[in-house]
Chain A
């Protein structure tokens, strides 16, 4: 953890550029030089939780022992409903800045992009937290309320073709979605009653499970396929930028399985015919019959669409406020708001600092730095700077951006 934090800090301090919440200084290019092409790359990783602290999340993600003390500490912060999520997105884009494919719209240039999106998220009750990390014994003669809980793991790549206006005030892209993996568990209701002495477990269950091909989960696996749209525009006197990423659907047909059941199960143990002549195979087969029946059936998922609205930068002002909003659909995401300030340190450097609330975490401090020259733009931001140093922080994040014009 310390290692990670120090690296984050070093990265932020030594980095040569400043970068606001999003790429908002693109109109800073000196007018006398006209580049023909632009190559951009971006990377974004963050994880957070409304109740799990960083110490807990780090162990959860990177290994180690979750001690009873740590579990208790988190339990004290756990609410009736809680969230946890991890995002890992990266991409690259090539833009032709001088030519156009549509002579009737000479101001529109085209771009080709690639992106990879990984999202693991969950929404869960306090009882589910206790059940998972303490076991069910503490619920003896009690009901653990595990619904409404949700767990989603979604990973896909996309290949995009789009058009962007020369002045970068508007762009539209359409993408082929290549689904790698989807696992979705939605429990409207899941009540677990542990009878005295554990002689029975009664489960009232109403839930949906959707799983993509278990054998095909790697990079560009094509377990599923779909279509997505990206859209970006400036509005209201170009003071604000609205951006929609991954608006679309994916179809998961190849060896996908699906279950949607609503029943009560009284579990009294896995039934075996004859204890004197049983086998591990019989036990496992009979145990499997207790699980919800998974049907070989495809399903459709809406992409985890990201909507962002940010205030754009005024190049005339050295110091100015920044604020914005971000939401990610179908991802157990809380609406995220941020507000802060940016300062132009020199012609090439910009630094920012902001406070953010929402997404997968509570209130946190972010800092960033941005660099710009004739043909290079780059930026790095620690989106949860406070989380790096406090074990009681509840998340961590970094985003980085780089562009090369030539």
Chain B
């Protein structure tokens, strides 16, 4: 027994002694490329659209939409309630045979569309909510018809609802809804000369398969219909007069998103506001303000131009059947008629706009021939066509990069990072790398030596050959510890300066090749 116990003890002890208490680890020196990338003008200029000129130079073609105009501004169809209380006119009880139609109630109903006079309307979505209260002691059938309508199958809108039997003391109540999606309305009424009017009819029958019922003047049927949430798709007629005001609105302006400082001097530019009116009615638009805001510097520059604060007339669009030819109006901003160069050179990241719009400012001058497709109304775009021919002074591009490292997983003690650059741009680039604190603010910088030198250029300041440079960044152990424990995000900043010749032209094939090589002391470990 003693021997067995000793044997078990020894075997267990051996197994236990083999258990790992700590990682196996050792230090290595690694010299290796890590990342390579090519920067072109597409990478430097946000999500702008670049267009290429015949000489391969680049124009920044950026469109910025002004505040969208709410389609409800043109007209809104309010919820409409239609009620019918029907009492039998018989003083003494009368027997109604099965199938007997005891209500036939045609009616003309009108949408309240203010001063608009709509003759025809197609419904995008909407419904009729009904509530039928019956004191008839037999099942009845309720048929609701809207004349001069077409549903998606081309039929007149007609629905029949079965209503259970009720009593005076305990009437039956039936509720539900009827879908109006895709239904078109002729709103000229029964005579064809009215506006905003539709003709409907309610029929109520005793169940043909049921029994005879006895009713008197003490029995009633109450019918309530509500047209709810009518959202038109298309309307024709006179759209009425209305006005709309929007703003001031802060609009994100992404064209200079990654530029965080410095100045540029622009050689030439073409900037204009283009307004397209797809509504078949005259309109007016007024841009009360357009302010360029640079949130980095706090600078704001308000556009100064004769159009600011004045109504711009918008001609009506033309319905071509399959498409609409909009009424177009264009307002050009030049350095002669405005301060647009200052607005752009402010390198803004926000544009503050305030817009007013009016419909049919002159009234019903089309004799009721306005039209409106609700999915395409008025578009107002601010266009920038900026040939990339500029002088850059300390133009700073910044990008926050999360290295995604943690103390437990980052094996690197310290590193010397070498950036090998082949620069095909005609400007110098200074690389800076900043450590960020836990709140994203600047904490410290890493020592960077060297400059990415400008490419060689000819007399016209066009690149002839790229130039190689090396930039070295030291990450000592204390700063690596900071990255491990505080915040692994760094801010990469590249500062560009064009060479001394004025207005350097940027061509599409310019590039900057970067290769990042590390010489690092690291720990390998495993468990």
Contacts and interface: CB of A to CB of B under 8 A. Distances in A.
Interface of A: 3-4, 7-8, 10-11, 14-16, 43, 59-68, 71, 132-138, 140, 194, 197-201, 267-278, 280, 283, 378, 398, 400
Nearest to A270: B35
Contacts of B30: 135-137
B79 interface: no
A66 B24 contact: yes
B20 A4 contact: no
B33 A14 contact: no
A30 B485 CA distance: 71
Given A11-B14, A63-B21, A198-B418, 6 more contacts: A8-B14, A132-B28, A134-B28, A135-B28, A197-B31, A198-B33
B6, B10, B11, B516: residue with the most chain A Cβ atoms closer than 10 Å: B10
Contacts of A269: 33-36, 515-517
Nearest to B34: A269
Contacts of A278: 37, 401
Contact of B25 (A10, A66, A197): A66
Contact of B37 (A67, A198, A200, A272): A272
Given A4-B17, A269-B516, A275 B29 contact: no
B37 A275 contact: yes
Given A60-B24, A71-B26, A276-B258, A270 B13 contact: no
Given A7-B10, A273-B37, A198 B258 contact: no
B92 to A, nearest CB: 86
B365 interface: no
Interface string B508-527: 00000011111100101001
B44 interface: yes
**4 residue pairs, one from A and one from B, having the closest CB atoms:** A135-B28, A198-B31, A66-B26, A269-B33
Contacts of B404: 280
A136 B32 contact: yes
A10 B10 CA distance: 8
Given A268-B515, A278-B401, A200 B29 contact: no
Contacts of A272: 35-37
Nearest to A68: B27
B29 A134 contact: yes
8 contacts: A62-B24, A137-B31, A197-B517, A267-B33, A275-B514, A276-B397, A283-B35, A398-B14
A59 B23 CA distance: 9
Nearest to A12: B10
Interface in B1-24: 3, 6-7, 10-11, 13-14, 17-24
B interface secondary structure, majority: strand
A15 B26 CA distance: 38
Nearest to A17: B3
A269 to B, nearest CB: 4
Given A62-B20, A64-B24, A272-B37, A7 B13 contact: yes
B56 interface: no
A43 to B, nearest CB: 8
Contacts, number: 133
Interface residues of B, number: 49
B399 A275 contact: yes
A270 B33 CA distance: 8
B401 A4 contact: no
Nearest to A276: B399
A67 to B, nearest CB: 8
Nearest to A70: B26
A275 B492 contact: yes
A119 to B, nearest CB: 17
B444 interface: no
Contact of A199 (B6, B25, B517): B517
Contacts of B3: 16
B334 to A, nearest CB: 32
B29 A199 contact: no
B100 interface: no
A199 B518 CA distance: 9
A270 B515 CA distance: 9
Interface string B30-53: 111111110100011000000000
A349 to B, nearest CB: 13
Nearest to B6: A14
Given A137-B30, A269-B34, A276-B258, A199 B420 contact: yes
A133 to B, nearest CB: 6
A382 to B, nearest CB: 11
A200 B420 CA distance: 11
Contacts of B44: 276
Contacts of A7: 10, 13-14, 17
B402 interface: yes
Contacts of A4: 14, 17-18
B406 to A, nearest CB: 12
Contacts of B527: 63
B35, B404, B527: residue with the most chain A Cβ atoms closer than 10 Å: B35
B519 A137 contact: yes
Interface string B335-373: 000000000000000000000000000000000000000
A280 B271 CA distance: 39
B7 to A, nearest CB: 8
Contacts of B43: 273-277
A16 B5 CA distance: 12
A132 B43 CA distance: 38
Contacts of A133: 26, 28
